[in-house]
Amino acid sequence: MPRKKKDTEVNSNSLKARLTDNSAPDMKPVDQPITEMLEINYMPYAMSVIVSRAIPEIDGFKPSHRKLLYTMYKMGLLTGNRTKSANVVGQTMKLNPHGDQAIYDTMVRLTRGNGALLHPYVDSKGNFGKQYSRDMQCAAPRYTEVRLEKLCEELFKGIDKDAVDMVDNYDGTLKEPVLLPATFPSVLVNANQGIAVGMASNICSFNLKEVCDATIAYLKDKECDLLEYMPAPDFSGGGQILYDRDQMQSIYETGKGSIVVRSKYTVDKKNNLIEITEIPYSTSSDAIIDNIADVVKQGKAKEINDIRDETDLDGLKITIDCKRGTDHEALMTKLFRFTKLQDTFSCNFNILINGNPRVLGVREIIEEWLNWRRGCLSRELTYDLNKKKDRLHLLEGLEKILLDIDKAIKIIRNTELEEDVVPNLMKGFGIDKIQAEYVAEIKLRNINKQYIINRIADREKLEKDIADIEDILSKPRRIDKMIADALADVSKKYGQERRSELVMHETVKHFEPAQIIQDYRVHLMLTREGYLKKVTMNVLKKTEDLKLKDGDEIVQDIEAENRSEILFFSDRCNVYKAKTYDFQDHKSNDFGSFLSSELEMEEGEKVVFMHVTTDYKGKILIGFKNGKAALFPVSAYETKQNRKKLINGYSDKSEAVSFLWIADEEDPDLVARSDLKKAVVFKSSLIPFKTTRTTQGVQLLVSKKGSSLIEIAPLSEVGITDPEYYRIRKIPAIGYYIKEDSFENRQIKLFDDI
């Protein structure tokens, strides 16, 4: 049922008197608790803004909108000709005394000419500005003309049949509706924004036809999937909605979330132009042009020669003049990332329900609207029922007159005083005062059998109508059927095609930072002390001596691209991901970037291995101290989210002693050795391939007398003179004692150090 306005005024005279009364010289100021002060002075103001200004109600309107539209309705602008906007503004001030400019601004947003609403309520003539441009201002109200759109018929149906409560205006001289008895969920059909005290509301617009279809489906089945009928919002400015069903489902359920909207554009390859014709609802063409100009100044869009606003009477158009050889699609992907050509609409479906603000999901909004609409329809039917019963009551009295018309004429003729006519008719025919008044008012020319018989013939129809209305009021299903029929009629009359195109989020190309990063060859050097030295090929050619910290040494040296990614493996089984271009180019006398700080590593954590990749192809082989080895794909570290730290990067069951990268198509010979001076040579394919990075691997060397694996290395780098002596063809293996002359001098020294 429609709510009644609550009196939010608080009498604070007594408090003010206590605070300001200084008449007594010995009277001290009274300490006022801040909580009491807020309750008395601030809360009424806050509630007034929330209830009476900023937050829309279930009929889809704020008070300012409602007062304006109702004034135009009473002025006859639903069917008449247009009138000057200034006339409407002046008349609206009888209900809304907040100033003519505020009223006119409210009207402008409701007009077809402004384009802010998906389904405008005001038919306009003249310049009303444009929602998509802050520089295109509307003309003064004396120059423009307005009337109500035909759609407004659905807003006022039943308003003259007590469908909603009517209350006094601010000075008690006029009546105005508390809500408008809209026959469709207008709260969802048009966008509505408002900022109150401590809360706000931001409701996006939905397609009228889709809203009506969804509401009808909900009437039939409350568990229906609303996304099948109204898959997403529909904005007056069009554009492309990057559609994510799960995200949209969350918005429908909670009433909160963000919708990503992109501009629509066409490419004129002949003239090397990009023409933008639709932009997100939440931005303006002026803001977009400023954004693009800033991007060009920053050197992020060197492909652009010029940008200009070519908006005219045909609609919005922003033209970008490109340089020769420009990849237009790549340029637009970049502009979507850095400008308002792609923007988000933040949903906050905060609505007043019976005077209380509530954030509702779409399903809850439809349910609340249906409950309210049922109340309006019941009141309208009750009004019709009472009118028909009153009419039937009069006809019942007229029927008694039919029995003896001459007697009625004789009674009236023989009555001396006029005030005695009604009492005499009541006494003569046994009818009540209302019936007698009706008979007495019949014109002399109508006192004939034909007239009376025709009136009485209406009685049967009235009795059927009354029975039907009473049946409807007793059966909620019939009321729901009337609501559904009205929704279907509205959809048929005023429905229009969707303006905002739905594009699946995963099919859209997104900007990658690497697109604006210069690519070139670099050398990456990892040192034992945890420094990463990144030098260009030119620096490497110019110097033979690279400065390192005292006592430090290079443990890995990899040639890479500036756009590649680096995986850093730490001694605590974490893997850190970074882009090569995240690190600055170093000079020959620089120590390098300290990885512990750059990667925000844990205290005492060290990098033990790094791998550079551009495509996450290949395999990682890890040797563990307990003699096991694990082989799994590099793609196990590829993630859709841009996470910088992957915990559980590899197994923590034993300490890792060696890391190797192996190409997918290769099966190299490897050498493993233990601290017992034993070694084996084996093919990498001997280690079973696993898909998870946390695999513990398989036993490669059997642990004897507490022995440990100390290294796995490529055979080509070790330099064994008799590799077949150490060859194994199955695992686990005990290993072979190392011959003194089997390894080159470099490796012999390494073994001697054990």
Reduced to 3 states (helix: H, G, I; strand: E, B; else coil), residue 473 is helix
Close Cβ partners of 388 (under 8 Å, ≥ 6 residues apart): 462, 465, 466, 469
Instruction: Report in angstroms the alpha-carbon separations of 527 from 508, 550, 650.
Output: 41, 11, 22
Say which DSSP state 42 is in: I
Tell me which of 42, 45, 143, 520 is the catalytic residue: 143
Rounded Cα distance, 495 and 212, in Å:
9
Helix (H) or strand (E) holding 673: strand 669-674
- Give φ, ψ of 190 to 5 degrees: -125, 145
Reduced to 3 states (helix: H, G, I; strand: E, B; else coil), residue 364 is helix
Q: Cα angle vertex 381, ends 380, 385, to 5°?
A: 120
Query: 559 with 539: CB under 8 angstroms?
Result: no
Rounded Cα distance, 586 and 592, in Å:
6
Rounded Cα distance, 568 and 1, in Å:
64
For the sheet with 593-594, list strands across it: 554-561, 521-527, 531-536, 593-594
Instruction: Report in angstroms the alpha-carbon separations of 460 from 395, 404, 425, 469, 711.
Output: 10, 21, 25, 14, 105
Query: 339 with 288: CB under 8 angstroms?
Result: yes
Nearest of 179, 177, 183, 176 to residue 157 by alpha carbon: 183
Nearest of 315, 327, 328 to residue 274 by alpha carbon: 328
Question: First and final CA of the chain: distance in angstroms?
Answer: 89
Instruction: Report in angstroms the alpha-carbon separations of 292 from 3, 25, 136, 396.
Output: 49, 69, 20, 79
Q: Is 143 a catalytic residue?
A: yes
For the sheet with 678-683, list strands across it: 709-714, 669-674, 678-683, 736-737
- HSE-CB at 607 with a 13 A cutoff on CA atoms is 30
Q: Cα angle vertex 420, ends 419, 423, to 5°?
A: 115
Rounded Cα distance, 453 and 403, in Å:
11
The dihedral region occupied by 518, where left means phi > 0, alpha psi between -120 and 50, and beta the remainder, is beta
Residue 751 CB coordination number (10 Å):
15
Close Cβ partners of 274 (under 8 Å, ≥ 6 residues apart): 265, 266, 267, 268, 319, 320, 322, 328, 331, 332
Residue 27 burial (C-beta neighbours within 10 Å; 0-12, 13-18, 19+): exposed
Instruction: Report in angstroms the alpha-carbon separations of 660 from 238, 626, 638.
Output: 53, 17, 18
Rounded Cα distance, 680 and 734, in Å:
8
What is the SS3 string spanning 546-570? CCCCCCCCEEEEEEEECCCEEEEEE
Rounded Cα distance, 236 and 341, in Å:
16
Return the sign of the alpha-carbon dihedral for residues 72, 75, 77, 78: positive
> Catalytic residue positions?
143
